[in-house]
Structure 1
Amino acid sequence: MTNLPTSSLLDAEAEPGYDPAVPQSARNLVDFHLRQLGLGEQYVRTPSGLARVLPDGIGWCRAQTLTEAAWPLGADLCVLVDWFPDAALRRDPRTGHVPPGAEEHWRERLAMTADALESLGYVVERNGPQRSPRTHWAAELLVYRMSPGLAPVRLPPEAWEGVEPIPPHYGRPSWHPDPDPCSVVERALQKAGVRAWSSSAGVCVVRSITQTVWPPDADICAWVCWSPAKEFRRENGTVPPGAQEHWAHQIERVKTALEQAGYEVRSRLRPWNPRAEDYADFVVYRSRRSVLAGMLT
């Protein structure tokens, strides 16, 4: 399929619009640009219908949404971009064999992918412990666009020196026997009386988040999502009386519980809007320094 003529590609698409309040719009815009650069997946018309076509020999990319709480300061758009190596240069999952040239393929193609995206005005970072075909099945890039007049603050590569990659990866497929970050944060919330199930205070759920957005000194990092109690949820565009106060009080309660448990809490700068949104979320982390300080006291 990769050798089909370009005339068989779907009709040229218009650049999609972007709205910071619609997370999927950032993903759609970056995916559009990846296709324009020849780095994303395409679809062609065939006698039997649509067929998926991937770039040949260079790997391929796709964007995924990222919570605004994890965006770099000053960014007005941010996504994660997964880069997958060419099929001929992937690690054999049965034997663990890494084909000759795979390391160079990762290094060269990731650099070229970053350069291509930056030529369109994006900022591209490879944060966290560096991935390779010997440790991971794909690489991950933080791709964002700064608000006008602002410059990105990039961390130097040595910021992650000595930091081990978190599971899952080929060397460690799970956190076992250690508790995973979500379980650790959930216990901290439960100890503070914040429930993970429906109550008059709302629902608080903890999810994992990629190490690409972990601060370099983080010992634990997770994504916390709070949604309002049933009686304060919007229905058919209508917000019950008291919803704004409920949101403000319970969000502050969750943040305070996490901070008192020794976590740093990051949230987006835009205010929450109960009339347009279903939940509030935070990226929370505990630094190695705070853990060490606790051990010494």
Structure 2
Amino acid sequence: MESYWNGRPVYDKGNALRAAPLVVNYDLDELGIGENWFVSGVRDGFRMVDRGIVPGAGWCRALSAPECAWPPGADLCVVVNWYPDASFIGTFSNSPKKAKALFGKSHAEVEAHWATRLKAVAEALRSLGYIVERAGRRPRPTQDANASLLVYRMGPGAEPPVRPVDAWRWVPSPRVYRWSEKSPLEVLQRRMDDAGFRYQAGKGVVVRDIDTVLWPPLSSFCAQLDWWPDKVSSSEELYDKLDQILSAVKTGGYQVRVQERPMKIGAQHFSALVFQTVEPISPINFATIAGKAE
């Protein structure tokens, strides 16, 4: 069976959104816990590929993570989604007495499968030098379709951040908002609109939900803020405008975080993490990074 991969991908931090998942997905396949892409044939000169998922163990896929959400000092970061084996797909019942997997597995069997396989996946990735965290909201095996792991690698000389034991204790449970209510995400978007940053004609600010695995420790709310600028001609102008946007955010009691790597002036959009915590986290000093933009 010919592997889809033609060798280990080269990691380019300048294109981390694409390169980081490629590298980790390659490692997942090498470990036998990924989607295990292989060449199934050739048609009209093109390789046909398919997945070779190992039965009984579930499978993993690495997805990109915005740099603004990376742990401080990280050189590479992705979200690894783990999916249970098809025979352990759980029901969406909230009652343990009624919980029964679609293929006859009990509530306890489903939870044991999740716990065992997630531990095995984490240990396998750690064997390659990755740091693996069970961050964010704890998964519910009988209700969730998958579990997310925060997987990252520190830069040279950098130490992994120390996380509080109860770092994600304040992540709220999912809920549905009635039409008369405003979700925290809608409240933040309204604040940006009222501050003059409404998204129109491809320019402006949009806030959106982000996987809780990427939330900073001690967070009770978190969102990703994406800004499409009109025109930016210098690094100073870039950070001045970004400071204006994030100042409007901070006056609402939010904290903000941007990527550590200097932002590129020619980028189509820029992202920041907006969050609220039960304890304050060190603020960003834009004066120290404005001169570092590319």
Provide the TM-score with structure 2 as the length reference: 0.81
Q: 1:62 to 1:21 in 2, by over 3 A?
A: same
Q: 1:249 to 1:107 in 2, by over 3 A?
A: same
For residue 185 of structure 1, what is the aligned residue in structure 2?
188
Q: Residue 223 of structure 1 aligns to which amino acid in structure 2? A: Q
Q: 1:219 to 1:45 in 2, by over 3 A?
A: closer
Distance in 2 between the 1:11 and 1:274 partners? 35
For residue 258 of structure 1, what is the aligned residue in structure 2?
249
Structure 1 runs not aligned, ≥5 long: 1-7, 234-241, 291-297
- Give secondary structure in 2 for the equivalent of 1:121: coil
- Aligned residue pair count: 264
The alpha carbon displacement at 1:175 in A equals 4.1
For residue 26 of structure 1, what is the aligned residue in structure 2?
20
The alpha carbon displacement at 1:190 in A equals 2.1
- Given that 1:185 and 1:206 are in contact with CA atoms closer than 8 Å, whether structure 2 keeps it comes out as yes
1:267 to 258, 281, 286: 258
For residue 196 of structure 1, what is the aligned residue in structure 2?
199
Alignment of 1:124-203 (within 5 A): 124-161=132-169, 163-165=171-173, 167=174, 172=175, 174-176=176-178, 178-198=181-201, 202-203=203-204
1:278 to 251, 262, 268: 268
**1:84 matched to 2:87:** no
The alpha carbon displacement at 1:207 in A equals 1.4
Distance in 1 between the 2:60 and 2:220 partners? 29
Distance in 2 between the 1:163 and 1:271 partners? 30
1:233-286 Cα shifts (integer Å, max 9, x gaps) = 7xxxxxxxx3545423321110111111211000011222213x1111100012
- Given that 1:31 and 1:63 are in contact with CA atoms closer than 8 Å, whether structure 2 keeps it comes out as yes
Distance in 2 between the 1:129 and 1:272 partners? 30
Q: 1:160 to 1:12 in 2, by over 3 A?
A: closer
Distance in 1 between the 2:40 and 2:4 partners? 14
Q: 1:113 to 1:191 in 2, by over 3 A?
A: same
Provide the TM-score with structure 1 as the length reference: 0.80
Alignment of 1:177-256 (within 5 A): 178-198=181-201, 202-229=203-230, 232=231, 242=233, 244-256=235-247
Q: 1:162 to 1:66 in 2, by over 3 A?
A: closer
Q: Residue 68 of structure 1 aligns to which amino acid in structure 2? A: E
Q: 1:286 to 1:54 in 2, by over 3 A?
A: same
- Give secondary structure in 2 for the equivalent of 1:250: helix
- Given that 2:68 and 2:271 are in contact with CA atoms closer than 8 Å, whether structure 1 keeps it comes out as yes
Q: Calculate the aligned-residue CA RMSD, in Å.
A: 2.4
Q: Residue 215 of structure 2 aligns to which amino acid in structure 1? A: W
The alpha carbon displacement at 1:163 in A equals 4.3
- Given that 2:110 and 2:142 are in contact with CA atoms closer than 8 Å, whether structure 1 keeps it comes out as no
**1:102 matched to 2:110:** yes
More displaced 10-residue stretch of structure 1: 277-286 or 45-54: 45-54
Q: 1:157 to 1:54 in 2, by over 3 A?
A: farther
1:117-156 Cα shifts (integer Å, max 9, x gaps) = 0110100000123113123111000000001222212424
| Identity, % of aligned positions | 34
For residue 13 of structure 1, what is the aligned residue in structure 2?
6
For residue 4 of structure 1, what is the aligned residue in structure 2?
none
Q: Residue 37 of structure 1 aligns to which amino acid in structure 2? A: L
Distance in 1 between the 2:76 and 2:191 partners? 31
Q: Residue 198 of structure 2 aligns to which amino acid in structure 1? A: R
